[in-house]
Amino acid sequence: MIPNLRQATPQNLPFVFRLERAYIQDFESESLHSWQGAIDRHLEQWISNLSRMFVAESGDEVVGYYFWEVRGDEAILSSINVLPDQRRRGIGSYLLKHFETQAVKNGMTRLSLGVISHNPAKQLYEAAGYEFVHQKGDYCYYEKSPNGA
């Protein structure tokens, strides 16, 4: 399935909040309390990166999103998320490829991301050519040259 992608708007932030919270509950439940305590910081992050946030739609339904941040010449995939009942349909791969294209279009020379070690999305990143660079705690960090993007 190839979803329609468009730049996110402030009206999409409640959806982002719900999926981010669900992710924390499912994959990092021990961090839920501190994550909720930092909601102002998360909201600030989402708003400041709204120009680099895209949502995937299937018909009239938003089914996923991603956003990225910039650090120098590095594009950091901050979050990518797809509704649970829409996973394993190629939407995540499509969002990841769109991130890479957007980063290259904006002159980035490095692509990076971090993922908790037990998240099955690691397979998606590895299949897309991201290479493991280091681990810090439970997080695995990956990088990719945009040459292949």
Global pTM value: 0.91
Contacts of 147 (CB under 8 A, 6+ apart): none
**How far is it, in rounded angstroms, from Cα 119 to Cα 28?**
10
Contacts of 109 (CB under 8 A, 6+ apart): 73, 74, 146
Confidence category of residue 1, pLDDT binned at 50, 70, 90: low
pLDDT given for residue 74 in this prediction:
94
pLDDT at 48 over 70: yes
Confidence category of residue 34, pLDDT binned at 50, 70, 90: confident
Query: Measured in whole angstroms, how far is the alpha carbon of residue 112 from the centre of its chain?
Result: 11
pLDDT at 60 over 60: yes
Confidence category of residue 52, pLDDT binned at 50, 70, 90: very high
What are the structural domains, with CATH classification, of the chain? Answer: 4-148 (3.40.630.30)
pLDDT given for residue 149 in this prediction:
45
Segments of 23-109 assigned E as strands: 53-58, 61-71, 74-82
